[in-house]
């Protein structure tokens, strides 16, 4: 079985393949003929799929000029109501076995509502119950703790946005070409990003091995990165981790600060950069280990910081800024001796039925 690091190494190949085939994957599948006026987009997802959606959300909303909502499938299916013909609905489940997502999609289909499902598994229960399937453009990720699938989901959602934006004339050809070229440049830079990330991880993995708690802070596109950091550290390192939006952290959670926390800022050089610097100024008075991963060059780089040196729109930074986070969580998990190929609690799915391997009629 491939490891998380193996799958991270495949990101450049998968990204390039999707960029080369985006029209076949999405352009010929998304039908907007019944949408008179696009009012909103709702994405149903949990776990890493939801984290990826948060990473793509600012890009989607800004380009399409509509609100983008990310909803929990279980909450939506059991307690909420959706029936707007001018809203596009998407459900994401990479493996296509998430019970709550399958149940939600079945409700949409039974009500003759259109919902697009994004999955990598054509043999999954989700695929079989869906009425509009979008392929992620990658093989099934066999590692239970997904990495490349999370990253690919962000790219997929961004390309879906470009397709919708073109069809609705909310973006022009110049905007399309510029953003698509930036995506190509990021893809071509990924091998170097991975190489640099490994060096940084090797240097500071011991710090995170001994950390009692990890807090990741992002904003804009990197809020999804912070959430994914919480997910992966919790799953693989099996230690306390929190992924917070910048302002969210400043409105209460900072009061639970411990001096032995390890805090990682994920800085996309965006609209809230000065706000983040202000928070770091405060935290540095109480916490020795405050690190920042920067998307591009900065004059305020500390010894423990990491700069990825990628010049791009801040809304695209989620396409690559999770690489060091995925590699760090993986290597620390290995230092702790965790076998990620074996479930820690093999009876969990059997008892809870949170994953469905096949549909039983």
Average pLDDT by consecutive 10-residue portion of the chain (361 residues)? 94 98 94 91 97 98 98 96 95 93 96 95 93 95 91 98 96 97 98 98 97 97 98 96 97 94 98 97 96 90 93 98 98 95 73 63 40
Distance between CA 302 and CA 74 in Å, rounded?
43
Distance between CA 296 and CA 317 in Å, rounded?
10
- Say if residue 181 is in the same domain as residue 129: yes
Instruction: Please tell me the total number of residues recorded for the chain in this structure.
Output: 361
Task: Note the pLDDT of residue 342.
Answer: 75
The per-residue pLDDT for range 139-177, each reduced to its tens digit, is 999 888 999 999 999 999 999 999 999 999 999 999 999
Rounded to whole angstroms, what are the CA distances from 285 to 121, 250, 257, 303?
49, 15, 11, 17
- Say if residue 214 is in the same domain as residue 327: yes
Task: Note the pLDDT of residue 358.
Answer: 53
- Say if residue 78 is in the same domain as residue 153: yes
Sheet holding 40-44, edge to edge: 68-71, 40-44, 87-92, 116-119, 132-135
Number of domains making up the chain? 2
CATH of the domain at 331: 3.40.50.10490
Residue 329 token pair: 């969580």
Task: Note the pLDDT of residue 361.
Answer: 40
The per-residue pLDDT for range 48-74, each reduced to its tens digit, is 999 999 999 999 999 999 999 999 999
Residue 48 within any structural domain of the chain: yes
- Say if residue 178 is in the same domain as residue 48: yes
- Say if residue 22 is in the same domain as residue 106: yes
Task: Note the pLDDT of residue 360.
Answer: 41
Domain that holds residue 11: 4-186
Task: Note the pLDDT of residue 293.
Answer: 98
**What SS3 state is found at 39?**
coil
Task: Note the pLDDT of residue 356.
Answer: 66
The per-residue pLDDT for range 326-361, each reduced to its tens digit, is 999 999 999 999 988 877 776 776 777 667 665 444
Residue 249 token pair: 């952290």
Which conformational region is residue 269 in: left (phi greater than 0), alpha (psi within -120 to 50 degrees), or beta? left
Examine the fold and report which residue of 141, 167, 186 is the final residue of a domain before the chain moves on: 186
């Amino acid at each position: 079985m491939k490891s998380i690091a193996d799958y991270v190494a495949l990101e450049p190949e998968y990204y390039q393949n999707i960029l080369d085939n985006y029209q076949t994957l999405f352009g010929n599948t998304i039908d907007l003929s019944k949408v008179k006026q696009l009012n909103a987009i709702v994405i149903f997802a949990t776990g890493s799929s939801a984290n990826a959606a948060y990473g793509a959300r600012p890009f989607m909303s800004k380009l399409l000029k509509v609100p983008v909502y990310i909803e929990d499938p279980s909450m939506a299916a059991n307690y909420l109501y959706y029936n707007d013909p001018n809203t596009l609905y998407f459900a994401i489940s990479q493996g296509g076995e998430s019970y709550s997502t399958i149940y939600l999609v079945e409700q949409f289909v039974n009500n003759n509502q259109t919902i697009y499902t994004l999955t990598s598994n054509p043999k999954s229960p989700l695929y079989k119950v869906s009425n509009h399937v979008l392929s992620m453009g990658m093989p099934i990720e066999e590692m239970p703790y997904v990495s490349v699938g999370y990253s690919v989901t962000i790219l997929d959602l961004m390309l879906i946005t470009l397709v919708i934006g073109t069809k609705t004339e909310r973006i022009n050809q110049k905007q399309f070409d510029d953003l698509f070229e930036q995506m190509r440049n990021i893809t071509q830079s990924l091998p170097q990003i991975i190489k640099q990330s490994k060096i940084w991880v090797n240097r500071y993995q011991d710090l995170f091995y001994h950390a009692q708690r990890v807090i990741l802070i992002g904003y804009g596109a990197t809020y999804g990165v912070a959430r994914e950091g919480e997910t992966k550290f919790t799953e693989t390192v099996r230690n306390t981790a929190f992924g917070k939006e910048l302002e969210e952290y400043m409105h209460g959670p900072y009061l639970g600060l411990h001096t032995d926390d390890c805090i990682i800022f994920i800085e996309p050089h965006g609209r809230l950069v000065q706000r983040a610097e202000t928070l770091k100024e405060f935290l540095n008075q109480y916490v020795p280990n405050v690190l920042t991963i920067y998307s591009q060059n900065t004059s305020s780089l500390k010894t423990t910081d990491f700069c990825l040196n990628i010049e791009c729109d801040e809304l695209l930074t989620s396409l690559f800024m999770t690489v060091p986070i995925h590699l760090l969580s993986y290597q620390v998990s290995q230092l702790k001796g965790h076998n990620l190929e074996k479930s820690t609690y093999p009876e969990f799915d059997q008892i809870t039925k949170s994953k469905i391997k096949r549909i039983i009629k």
